[in-house]
Amino acid sequence: MSNQTTVTEFLLLGFSDVRELQILHFVVFLVLYLACLVGNLLIITAIALDHRLHTPMYFFLMNLSILDLGSVSVTIPKSMVNSLMNTRSISYSGCVTQVFFFFFFVSASFALLTIMAYDRYVAICQPLHYEMVMNRGACVQMTAGAWISGILNSALHTGNTFTISFCGGNTVDQFFCEIPQFLKLACCDPYFREFGVIVFGVCLALSCFVFITMSYVQIFTTVLRIPCEQGQHKAFSTCLPHLTVVSLFLCTSSFAYLKPTSSSASGLDLVVTVLYAVLPPMMNPIIYSMRNKEINGAVSKWMCWRLFSKNKMTMSPS
């Protein structure tokens, strides 16, 4: 305990100490952030303004886009500012806030992806009961449950992390405040805390994963029984984007959190973290819009309306 110090700020690991590479990191992250921002905002706007998309599936998708925007907004901007200002510091309270909100958005996203799997299961396997089961009240309650579960899960993990004392310095080997990195700075043996965090997270993720898997086993079994090839194509077209998003989310986050924190170099840790923290929120709008004619049509209609309104205002006499 003699080595225990009061930490007032942390130092985040930069991608490079070379000024030119810091500027390059800022530009790359700016492009990624803007792509994520534009893609998710287009989905949110299209669903909100097009009454044809006021269905449970698109209601859940709109909430997923909001969560994706939140998850990247609590990590990327701070890293961009640090690179631009040639600094690495983040305050203690800023780090606690970053950990809480990032874990909240990620946890709520996974809970929402599980709900979306159930929505697809009811729509395809029990179509006659869909309107009764997935009514407005049920959708709002399930979505609220996803957000609340994210808050509780995040509060548990954040509280568990920042009640420890830090003796290993204040350098975080990551471009944002990440829980596994703080366990390496603990005064006491962090393995018991790390074990508890990992076991709880794995159990929660595994239960969601099992539910999603069982839902899609039932979905694919039902779809293969559909005699009409057009019906099969329509069912697959609504399920494959969701399944792709779930796979991308699980593969990147599992690899990042389940590998030992000291098993790889810092450079690889940074790359892996970018893959699970930045890539899914950026790819989700692309994945959902690629095979979705309704989303594409709504976005195109909204953009055409905006251009028409702008041109009309420009041509009108002053």
Calpha distance 294→283 (Å, rounded): 18
Determine the structural domain holding residue 23 and report its residue range.
19-308
Can you give the pLDDT at residue 200?
74
Domain membership of residue 313 (yes or no) is: no
pLDDT, one tens digit per residue, over 80-138 is: 998 888 888 899 899 999 999 999 999 999 999 999 999 999 998 888 999 999 999 99
Calpha distance 166→260 (Å, rounded): 20
More confident of the two residues 55 and 315: 55
CATH number of the domain within which 163 lies: 1.20.1070.10
The overall average pLDDT reported for the chain is 81
Domain membership of residue 7 (yes or no) is: no
pLDDT, one tens digit per residue, over 67-84 is: 999 999 999 999 999 888
Can you give the pLDDT at residue 86?
86
9 neighbors 91 (Cβ within 8 angstroms): yes
Domain membership of residue 202 (yes or no) is: yes
pLDDT, one tens digit per residue, over 157-169 is: 888 888 877 776 7
For residue 204, pLDDT beyond 60: yes
Domain membership of residue 262 (yes or no) is: yes
The count of domains in the chain is 1
On the 0-12 / 13-18 / 19+ scale of CB atoms within 10 A, 270 is middle
Domain membership of residue 316 (yes or no) is: no
Domain membership of residue 11 (yes or no) is: no
Calpha distance 208→211 (Å, rounded): 5
Q: SS3 breakdown of the chain: % helix, strand, coil, rounded to 5? A: 75, 5, 20
Domain membership of residue 318 (yes or no) is: no
Q: Which residues contact 222 (CB under 8 A, 6 or more apart)?
A: 124, 125, 235
Q: Is 164 in a helix, a strand, or coil?
A: coil
Domain membership of residue 249 (yes or no) is: yes
pTM of the model: 0.85
